[in-house]
Structure 1
């Protein structure tokens, strides 16, 4: 199979039929074999009903329905597990991503040999205050933190080789950072392509300030995981050593001062340096323990399902 199109969605009943017809037209005109995998992330409208109708008419349409809303990252993870195309395309279901971009994205993966091509919505139709400016700030921080030089991390329109999606684990809210996950997994041929952004035709945006805040918190998380995810003792052990050394140095100073320099002075327990020393050594020890616990968890953890599927269509 040439292409798998993975589409996570939440309450997009008005756009699904039009999106399907548009994708099918592009695939047929380019003679691609394809599958469209819709992942219904707990919609409360008629989205699943429409997906069921589309799958009955077109066997290339496949569906996954979650029991409730688990989030976009979990939806992408489920779609990636089922995808079998040589190239996997992800896009949003709101018609703001253009399927006409698919042939060129496909060629960049197959012909030019890229592992991942991320869309860049250079000209946007979003509100400047509520989404555009926050996105620019977020993308700047992501570039500086991750070292991946992309202008639009959050664009839903991306293309991947099959090897990439089978070797990354998209969880939590990490869908924004799939290029970083791919880089950390060893895939270095990552680029971007300017893509057309279209104004939303139906429904309302799911973007809010809470997602903006969550994005930066996730950025801190992925920075930590990128640098210390497989060796937490390197961070916590170093912090623990520094803290313990500072506390121990204070304790040595207090002991020498009391025994040799000022034996008739105040008791050690009456000096504030004593409590600073004690607190610092305790905190340093706790950092050491945190590092050891992190190492133990890494070696004993078992993967658990992060979502529950209610129905599947045309999937073996």
Structure 2
């Protein structure tokens, strides 16, 4: 199979039929063998019934319905797990991503040898204050932190080699950072393509300003995980040893000063350096223990399901 199109959605019933027809026309005109995977992330507007109708009319349409809303990352994870295509395309269900971009994205993967290609909505139709400016700030921070030189991490229109999606773990709200996850997994040939952005035709956006706050917090998380996720002792242990050494040095100084330099002076417990030394050694010990516990958890963790499927077709 040439292409799997993975589409996570939440309450996008009005756009599904139009989106399906558009994708099907593109696939048939380019003679691709394909499948369309709709991942219903707990919709309450009848989206699943529409997906079932589309599946009855087109055997290339498949779907997964979550028991409740688990988030876009979990929806993508489920879609990646089920996808069979040589190339996997992800796109949003709100008709803001243009299916006409699919053939060129496919060629960039199969002919140009990219592991993944991310879309760049260079010209956007969103509000400047609520989306454009925060998005530019977010993307700048993501580039500086991750080292992945993309202009638009948040673009839902992306293309992947089959083995990329099968070897990355998209969880929490890490869908924004799939290029970073791919890079950390060893897939370093990451390309970018300017894609057409279209104004939302139906409904309202599901994302508010809070997504950027969460995005920056997730950015810190993925930076930490990429640097120290497999070796937490390297960070916490180093901090612990450094803090303990500082506290011990203060204690040694106080002891030498009291015993040899100023035996008739103030009691050690009356000097502020004593409390600095005590607190610093306690914090250092806690950092070291945190690193040790992190290593134990890392070696004993269990893989648990992050979503529950209600139905699938």
What TM bracket, shorter-length normalisation? over 0.9
Per-residue displacement from partner, 1:94-123 (whole Å, max 9, x unpaired)? 000000000000000001110000000000
Aligned length, in residue pairs: 313
Q: Does 1:273 align with 2:273?
A: yes
Distance 1:60 1:117 in 2: 24
Which residue of 2 is the match for residue 253 of structure 1?
Answer: 253
Which residue of 2 is the match for residue 154 of structure 1?
Answer: 154
Say what the alpha-carbon RMSD is for the aligned residues. 0.5
Q: Does 1:100 align with 2:100?
A: yes
Distance 2:290 2:166 in 1: 31
Deviation at residue 25 of structure 1 after TM alignment = 0.3
Distance 2:8 2:226 in 1: 26
The list of structure 1 runs, each at least 4 consecutive aligned residues, that deviate by more than 4 angstroms after superposition, is none
Q: What SS is found at the alignment partner of 2:104? A: helix
Which residue of 1 is the match for residue 26 of structure 2?
Answer: 26
Q: Does 1:8 align with 2:3?
A: no
Distance 2:42 2:67 in 1: 6
Deviation at residue 209 of structure 1 after TM alignment = 1.3
Which residue of 2 is the match for residue 231 of structure 1?
Answer: 231
Which residue of 2 is the match for residue 135 of structure 1?
Answer: 135
Deviation at residue 272 of structure 1 after TM alignment = 1.1
Deviation at residue 59 of structure 1 after TM alignment = 0.7
Which residue of 1 is the match for residue 57 of structure 2?
Answer: 57
Q: Does 1:38 align with 2:50?
A: no
Q: What SS is found at the alignment partner of 2:14? A: coil
Which residue of 2 is the match for residue 294 of structure 1?
Answer: 294
Q: What SS is found at the alignment partner of 1:175? A: helix
Q: What SS is found at the alignment partner of 2:152? A: coil
Q: Does 1:192 align with 2:192?
A: yes
Deviation at residue 133 of structure 1 after TM alignment = 0.3
Deviation at residue 155 of structure 1 after TM alignment = 0.1
Deviation at residue 44 of structure 1 after TM alignment = 0.9
Q: Which runs of 5+ in 2 are unaligned?
A: none
TM-score, normalised by the number of residues in structure 2: 1.00
TM-score, normalised by the number of residues in structure 1: 0.99
Distance 2:296 2:267 in 1: 42
Distance 2:135 2:209 in 1: 11
Deviation at residue 207 of structure 1 after TM alignment = 1.7
Q: What SS is found at the alignment partner of 1:65? A: strand
Which residue of 1 is the match for residue 207 of structure 2?
Answer: 207
Distance 1:168 1:305 in 2: 15
Q: Which runs of 5+ in 1 are unaligned?
A: none
Which residue of 2 is the match for residue 110 of structure 1?
Answer: 110
